[in-house]
Amino acid sequence: MSENGTNQFQRLIEVGIALSAERDTNRLMERILLEAKDICNADGGTLYLRTEQDALKFEIMRTDSLDIALGGTTGKEITFPPLRMYDPETGAENRKNVATWAAISGTSVNIKDAYEADDFDFTGTKKFDEGMGYRSKSFLTVPLKNSQQEIIGVLQLLNAKDRETGEVIAFGTDIQPLIEALSSQAAVALDNQQLLEGQKKLLDSFIELIASAIDAKSPYTGGHCQRVPELTKMLANAASESTEGLYADFELTEDQWYELHISAWLHDCGKVTTPEYVVDKSTKLETIYDRIHEIRMRFEVVKRDATIEYMKAIIDGGDPDALRVELEERLAKLDDDFAFIAESNLGGEFMAPERVDRVKEIADIEWTRTLDDRAGVSFEELKRKERAPAPQLPIVEKLLADRDDHIIYRESPATAAADDNPYGFQLDVPENKFNMGEVYNLCIGRGTLTEEERFIINDHIVQTIVMLEQLPFPKHLKKVPEFAGGHHEKMDGTGYPKKLNEEDMSLPARIMAIADIFEALTAADRPYKPPKKLSDSIKIMSFMKKDAHIDANLFELFLTSGVYKEYAECFLDPSQIDEVDISQYLPAEGGDD
């Protein structure tokens, strides 16, 4: 092999290695075209990619002598329409265009002079030359075949030039095999890149599909899974743009940005396991339905019993006037008691001890049941009722009760809750899975959730981590479970589910925690609460900072960078956006916060 041949062979190896290492599609396509131009000293060239509609789309165009550089990393769009390989009406092959014929036939076409070629139509080329004062002469058109021998594009080179004289010459027969070899390497590299991008696009679409499904599952989540990623990226970007202070050295690579993107979109994927009737529990007695209606009916029965007793007393010779006063007082008291129970069911009032005592007092009111409460119930409920012998009917019962059949036992501790679980969870697991006791639920101190239901709600982050840990993430996405699973942890180590503190958490995980909280505070699509003003949300977060629940430094960056305002302008209703004096939440100069 001659020295020139050895050099060309070495050059081909180097180019192949470089092509296989390139991960950006635009840069890869440019590299393919530029290396091919350089090898045969061509003045210009075009790279086409085959579309799903069997057309060749212009991707990269270069003509050095005309200073033309379009497509790729230039940011300049190529406006030429794609070249159709087949007639859309007849399906006939497009043999007139040299590029389409190379794609259809899978063979290279070497043309010495386009103006003397009879096999192809160069009308468009000649018109271009006339307008630009150019002379297109020699063409080398090579199909790009992937490893399955499928044509994925076409490489076309224009006007080879003599390296000494600069004269336009034909593409030599010694150069053509080299360009074909380069095209083969390029096709494999480009096909691999397209496959990777296709997989990435599929993964992104699937992840966003899951997030959208979670948001659609309940009106209580709204667009949460879609907004948290946006806010996460805003705050992460603010940290990466910092040139001084704590975050001056914080920078994310392209892979790390994608890792954070995936994590943010998947941060609540465990909610697919959370029952809607727990997530959507808007009153204390609500399960699949609101049991306040059942209790109302019991009050109606007690009131009718009181009326019946009044009538019987009159028949037995009692004083009608005195009995009437007693009945009206009794009915008024029952009405007032039911109003109190109904109000307590809403969960808006803090259940102070005296309110709890009144619930228990009302619960002791008795009523008589004459019908079998085991008839017509589900198999699962019947099993719970059969924990105790069936009572003799009729039976006097309490108006409100905490019965044994209200308890749904926890079958066995989940692996995630075990002390030696592999995930590092530190969970305070309630004894029972559910407790539907009426008095128990009505006496909930704040809100509408029992301890058991709150555990079920919180369990979504446990399930998120368990689900993500089971996925075979590639090396550059290995931190997705950690980033996604830390947004309920607190800086003081009292968070959930691992009781991590600030030192245990990565910066992206702490960023996501702030994004998750701020989105929840400002969300306007939660049917259980009115949307908060921007200033109110910031004030609440300042308390969380003081309590060491969120990262104090990130909260400061959140304010000083203006991310809170940028997010508000994008996602909040205009009526929520008010003035915020951030100075009151920032450390005093030269002193402590």
Residue 591 pLDDT > 60, yes or no? no
Task: Find the Cα–Cα–Cα–Cα dihedral 577, 578, 582, 584, rounded to 10°.
Answer: -140
- pLDDT bin (cut points 50, 70, 90) of residue 2 is very low
Sequence-distant (6+) residues with CB within 8 A of 93 are 85, 86, 100, 101, 104
Task: Give the whole-number percent of the chain exceeding pLDDT 90.
Answer: 70
* For range 246-250, the mean pLDDT: 92
> Would you say residue 190 has pLDDT above 90?
no
pLDDT given for residue 214 in this prediction: 83
pLDDT score, position 58: 95
pLDDT band at 493 (very low <50, low <70, confident <90, very high): very high
Distance between CA 542 and CA 556 in Å, rounded? 10
Residue 556 confidence class, pLDDT cut points 50, 70, 90: very high
pLDDT grade for 133, boundaries at 50, 70 and 90: very high
Please give the pLDDT value at position 35: 84
Whether 6 has a pLDDT exceeding 70, the answer reads no
**What is the pLDDT at residue 495?**
93
pLDDT in tens, 272-327: 888 888 888 889 999 988 999 999 999 999 999 999 999 999 999 999 999 999 99
Average pLDDT over residues 431-446: 95
Would you state the pLDDT for residue 217?
Answer: 79
Q: Prior bond to 481 cis, omega within 30?
A: no
Residue range 68-97: mean pLDDT, rounded: 92
Report which DSSP code applies to 64.
G
DSSP three-state, residue 482: helix
Cβ of 385: how many Cβ atoms within 10 Å?
A: 14
**How far apart are the C-alpha atoms of 144 and 48, rounded to whole Å?**
9
Q: What is the pLDDT of residue 359?
A: 97
Is residue 471 pLDDT above 50, yes or no? yes
Q: What is the DSSP letter of 86?
A: B
Say whether pLDDT at 332 is over 70.
Answer: yes
Per-residue pLDDT band for 524 (boundaries 50, 70, 90) equals confident
Burial class (CB in 10 A: 0-12, 13-18, 19+), 393: exposed
Of 75-89, 228-242, 363-377, 418-432, which range is least confident? 418-432
In 10 A of CB 538, how many CB atoms? 24
Q: Examine the pLDDT at 1 and tell me if it is beyond 50.
A: no
pLDDT at residue number 5 = 52
Domains in the chain (CATH in brackets) are: 3-197 (3.30.450.40), 218-275+457-585 (1.10.3210.10), 292-415 (no CATH)
Query: pTM here?
Result: 0.77
Question: Integer distance in angstroms from the first to the last C-alpha of the chain?
Answer: 76
Q: Is 61 helix (H, G, I), strand (E, B) or coil?
A: strand
Q: Is the confidence at residue 419, as pLDDT, over 80?
A: no
Of 2-11, 18-27, 244-253, 573-582, which gets the smallest average pLDDT?
2-11
Least Cα distance to 24 among 261, 193, 189, 192 occurs for 193
3-state helix, strand, coil in the chain (%, to 5): 50, 10, 35
Residue for token digits 């092509």? 19
Structure tokens at 559: 């304010």
Residue 19 has pLDDT above 70, yes or no: no
Comparing 7-21, 427-441, 510-524, which segment has the lowest mean pLDDT?
Answer: 7-21
Question: How confident is residue 187, by pLDDT bands cut at 50, 70 and 90?
Answer: confident
Residue pair 486/492 in contact by the 8 Å Cβ criterion: no
Q: Can you give the pLDDT at residue 223?
A: 83
Quote the mean pLDDT of the chain: 90
Residues 365, 306 contacting (CB under 8 angstroms): no
Encoded tokens for 425? 């969870």
Give pLDDT, residue 589: 63
Strands 109-111 and 139-145: antiparallel
